[in-house]
Structure 1
Amino acid sequence: MTTTTLDNAFLYNAFIIGARNVISEKNSLNKINVFPVPDGDTGTNLASLMNSIIEKSMLKDTSLETMETIVDAAIEGARGNSGIIFASYINGFYEALKNDDLTIDEYIEMVTNAADQAYLSINKPVEGTMITLMRAWATALNSLKDAGHSVLEMFSKAFDVLQVELKKTTEMLAVLKQNKVVDAGAKGFVHFIEGFIKSLKGEKVSMDFQDVPEITEHLHIDHLDESQYRYCTEALLSSIDLDHKAIKAHLETLGDSLVVAGNKRRLRVHIHTDKPDQVFTYLASHGSILEQKVDDMIRQFEMVNHQKYKIALVTDSIADLPQSLVDQYQIHQFALGLMINGTTYYDKLTITAESFYGLMDTLDVYPTSSQPNQRTLENFFSQLTTYYDKVIVLSVSSKMSGTYQAFVDSANKFKSKDKKIAVIDTIQNSGAQGLLVLKAAQAIKAGMEFDDIVTYIEKLKKETKILVSVKTLKYMVRSGRVGKTTGIIGKIVNLKPVISIDDQGEGIIFDKGLSIKTSNKKIFKHIKGILEFNEIDDYAIVHANAGDRVTSYEKIYTDLIGKPPTYIMNISPIVAMNAGIGTVAIAYIKGKSKLVDQSIH
């Protein structure tokens, strides 16, 4: 049976309508996401891919040209396990395309090849998931092609078969059966085919998200498997001749849930790992990393299944706060970008402080920080607002970075009468910002109301300060924080400045010393002066591989303040890029006035 309906214009329209249909089901797909990880983001990930198809694909002169724009958009927009498998499916469909006006036999050949490509993209395919439905669609069409049906009748009957196969997924995987749900990725594929058929009927699909019920009791997952890797790691890799097999063979030694989809020009990689830095170091040696994503699956799991609090607390990676405290208070930390040798790395995730310190003195082109990717940030807020009605964001000083404005712009797209989001400019960075985040976390734990927390942090940030003793000016010169002339003069006179932040959030030279010993004394004098009139509520010592200086600071300030620091840690790579190796800093939050205490007594 032949037809002229499956032409260039139809293919383009069908993909757009199919994409819209999946997006309209984003929230419902997130709600039933329990496999391979119950992190509640399958709908968000598929929506990212589908949005990319809608926004970036184009109707060209031929089906081949049109499908090339669709597959490139799919690979670029693919996120998560399901999204990347779907992108591989679309790539397989494209690779089997031969003519502009498709016969049914040719279409079946294309969807069969698409399903095969989806299987090949996965390191360890699991039945009862999206790939099962992809193959079922091709099989159903093949069984009906000689029955004399019209194209619409044939597609509709095959879709009936697909819906039956979807229901079967509940029995195919133990976790689906336990939670009485179908596979979220498989359901997403069914919604895509449903949209495909709607396009045949001339119907349109609204992308308004449906109201969906809260997570029901049977979807509650008690715990993650102890062998579960922490980070869902993804990259979009570009080169001239990418070797799928070699890349897959190496990456499978670093984690599981490995999916590699695409072609020789572009690859989208997905892997669950505890070593995202090693994944990106390897990929960077094979091509240009155009995009990357690292999701903390433990935090996502907690967000969906084990929320400690009803308010989500968010900060960026410049806030230096130990991972143990980030985990204790379920803080969502958004990693910023660091450009090294033409590749963007994620602060603290795909480039760690320890590995970055080893690079700092060897790079011909000094690293720079980069602004958050807007699509990634919007995906981040999209998922947060799926599970939280209230979100508080504490950003690095807006005078030092565009991060604050990026947070504001993305958050505004998700605010509503039911969703409250506050973005606070902390006018701080590093340990000072970290202490404010900790205070916000403790306020949330104590049950303080949303608006009261915002007011509390706005007031507290004015009582917060960081004093940084820089060992050498050369890193500040290289990063552009101080001029070369200043750097040369400083080197000649052995200038050892104390760096701080003013009341507007601008970096300043707080004081000057001609030696490390002198700058240490100036910081000590300042802290001692504060203690004459106020208590110090919390303080932290942060550093960049400062060694003995850290030990000395800990002893001195424990004795002076009367208690040990709240925490001690290495600063983030982005902060280290400006401050340099050997830097040590003390951040503090001023406490209650001693004068008030004396007047009471």
Structure 2
Amino acid sequence: MNSKHLDSEKLYYAFVSGANRVIKHKNELNRINVFPVADGDTGTNLTFTMQNIIEETQMKGSAKETIGSIADAALTGARGNSGIIFAQFLNGLHLGLDDEKEITLSGFSEAVESAVLYAYKSISNPVEGTIISVMKDWSNSLRLLKDRVTDFSQLFTISLEAATQSLQSTRKQLKVLRDASVVDAGGKGFVCFLEGITNYFLKVEVEETDYVSADVEFKDSGLHSNENTKPSHRYCTEALIKGEQIDLEMLRNNLLDLGESLIVAGSPEKVKIHIHTNHPEILFDRLREFGMIIQQKADDMLRQFETVHSRKHKIALVTDSIADLPKDLMDKHQIHMIPLNLLIGDNSYLDKLTISPSYLYESMDDAKKYPTSSQPTVKAVESYLNSIVPYYESIIVITVSNKMSGTYDTIVNAAKKIKSTGAKIAVIDSMLNSGGQGLVVLKAAEAIEKDVEFTNVIEIINDTIKKTKIFVSVDTLKYMVRSGRIKKYTGLAAKMLNLKPLVSINNTGDGIVIGKALSVKANTKKMQALVREITRTKKIVSYSIVHANAIDRANEYEQIFSPLIGRTPEYITEISSIVAMNAGVGCVAIALTTE
């Protein structure tokens, strides 16, 4: 294709061709991903970014407007270090173009140069030998070529050689790449993008890809097996925020102390943030001050690393965030967690990941509109299960009671598609929540630890469900009223009488009120009587105590029930934000399993 000018149509199809080329190489990009964290997801992250470009971009009247649409789609869909840097590059390219309907060779070169500078500015600590270096070297070649070539076909063909050479140099620039004998995965993704564009100009056709195969994860090659590459910060955290006149530099400086690999990309109206941190909840506390949070992610890089390099078992155990288990027990048994969603005002959060209990409790008391919750999407669950399927012989998922949440149905639907490929997955309704669900998950983890076979683990889980109960002491009914769990007039009557209800879950998974008292002390005595009655006919083999901002009451429960049961609890922990939202601040519960 001989073209001295790049119009909207040519630019659109060239960039779509480039995006498809990246998707084709997804598995290879995952395989060589060793920097900044060897979590094998660069290809996956870039695929998300590219698919959003393909699905959301609109061809506009001018080339600049079309680049603007591409840049906006990339920013919205950007994931991971390389994806967000790439999106920032495209945003810089859009800002660097003039308003002419078509782009000249010289204009394109100058816009790319400004785009590279824009991308550099988004990174708190740019590292040479990565995607940013390849972008810079490619830009330099464009500057040298723009007055020597006759059309865009020549410009991309010749400059691609410079980008490829730059990519090969990345292994010399970074020791971790040299030791692994690979090039930078993000840099290779950018070169793939340029290859797709070049092929479009040479063949005058858009490079196609297979979207089905793009969703298939790779099997680990052992490339990332070095234990020293374990992530120094646990969560790969991302957010997209919207606002008015957001100061990107101020935002960046406000987040620097939270971790590493910080990227702040976008415009004063829409910003994508990426950071590796141990405290995603603090990140989102701060982001609320800058704008409305419209998108978020907090991937557990430690669990990802363990899954690929140091998994303990052949069965993957997965639960949702309603199961209340301390993080140390989750880590000990390498239990995977799928978070539910909370909506507070206009902002959405991931349960147990991106929201602090203090902010939730404050919102429960002060928000005009009471917080709500929702199960994860089928797509999110599919993505999570797909990421672990290649590394385990089978997967067991234990969910919150189906009567309390649509999470069970969502996970069943997500698992159907994955099971059709031959994967061995069981999804089990615990018919419990909170500490009760936690005890069931813990029992399953202990069975898997003993190398019990898949079908036998399922039998143990189902047997444990039948033998597990949870009793919740609710301090006040006002939260249940606000959350819609009980009718307003019932709550008002209870408030007038100062009733302290005792709540449990029946054998079908429905929440029920099993007693009422006029004081916390009387409520505790009722709880004692319930547990004592159980011990008369059955042996309690394990129990847990969970609470919502009520550690003193939880410790009191331990002093009361340890002598009564004859053992200390398996654990004491704060409950899920979603459970707290429904049961209320100050609640405390005991969950127990009998022999």
Q: TM-score, normalised by structure 2?
A: 0.93
Aligned to 1:204: 207
Q: Which residue of 2 aligns with 1:216?
A: 221
Given candidates 328, 340, 351, the residue that maps to 1:336 is 340
Could you tell me which residue of structure 1 aligns to residue 553 of structure 2? 549
Q: In structure 2, what is the equivalent of residue 594 of structure 1? A: none
What is the aligned partner in structure 2 of residue 61 from structure 1?
Answer: 61
CA distance in 2, matches of 1:317, 1:180: 39
**Are residues 269 and 474 of structure 1, via their aligned partners in 2, closer, same or farther at CA, if it must alter by over 3 Å?**
same
Partner residue, 2:450? 446
Equivalent residue, structure 1, for 2:88: 88
Q: How far 1:566 moved relative to its partner?
A: 0.6
Provide Cα deviations, 1:314-364, integer angstroms capped at 9, x if missing partner: 222111100100111111222222222322222222223344335533333
Contact preservation (8 Å) 2:62, 2:102: no
Query: Is the aligned partner of 1:517 residue 2:521?
Result: yes
- Counterpart CA distance in 1 for 2:391 and 2:570 is 31
Distance 1:275 1:20 in 2: 35
Match of 1:486 in 2: 490
Work out the CA distance in 1 between the residues paired with 2:519 and 2:217.
63
Mapping of residues 31-70 of structure 1, within 5 Å: 31-70=31-70
Structure 1 equivalent of residue 158 of structure 2: 157
State the one-letter code of the partner of 1:245: E
Once the two structures are superposed, residues 173-196 of structure 1 have per-residue CA deviations (whole angstroms, 9 ceiling, x without a partner) of 111111111111111111111221
Residues 425 and 65 of structure 1: CA distance in aligned 2, closer, same or farther (over 3 Å):
farther
Structure 2: distance between partners of 1:535 and 1:212? 46
Q: Which runs of 5+ in 2 are unaligned?
A: none
1:48·1:379 contact (CA, 8 Å) conserved in 2? no
1:354–1:181 distance in 2 versus 1, CA, 3 Å? same
| Aligned-partner SS, 1:411 | helix
Q: Which amino acid aligns with 1:335?
A: P
Cα deviation per residue 1:360-389 (whole Å; 9 max; x = unaligned)?
333333222233255544443342235445
2:217–2:387: 8 Å Cα contact kept in structure 1? no
Number of corresponding residues: 590
Which residues of 2 match residues 83-482 of structure 1 at below 5 A?
83-98=83-98, 99-148=100-149, 151-200=152-201, 201=203, 202-207=205-210, 208-209=212-213, 214-224=219-229, 228-373=232-377, 375-388=379-392, 390-482=394-486
- 1:117 corresponds to which letter in structure 2? Y
Read off the aligned partner of 1:285 and give its amino acid letter: E
Number of the residue aligned with 1:595: none
SS at match of 2:550: coil
Which structure 1 segments of 5+ residues have no match?
592-601
Report Cα offsets for 1:210-252 as digits up to 9, x if no partner. 88874334431213468x2222221101012111111111111
C-alpha contact (below 8 Å) 1:7/1:63 kept by paired residues: yes
**AA at the equivalent of 1:188:** G
Opposite residue 384 of structure 1, the aligned amino acid is I
Aligned counterpart, 1:596: none
Q: Cα offset for 1:282?
A: 1.4
Partner of 2:574: 570
Matching residue's letter, 1:219: H
Percent identity of equivalent pairs: 47
* More moved, 517-526 vs 305-314: 517-526
Shift of 1:85: 0.6
| 8 A Cα contact 1:27 1:209, kept in partner | no
1:547 Cα deviation (Å)?
3.9
Shift of 1:586: 0.8
Pairwise CA distance, 1:500: 1.2
Q: Give the CA deviation at 1:476.
A: 1.0
Contact kept in structure 2, 1:544 and 1:582, CA below 8 Å:
yes
Which amino acid counterpart does residue 220 of structure 2 have in structure 1? Answer: I
SS at match of 2:569: coil
Give a deviation string over 1:88-112, Cα, whole Å, max 9, x none. 0111122223333322222222322
User: Structure 2: which amino acid aligns with 1:334?
Assistant: I
Once residues 440 and 482 of structure 1 are traced to their aligned partners in structure 2, the CA distance between those partners, rounded to angstroms, is 33
Q: In structure 2, do the counterparts of structure 1 residues 213 and 490 end up closer, same or farther at CA, with 3 Å as the change threshold?
A: closer
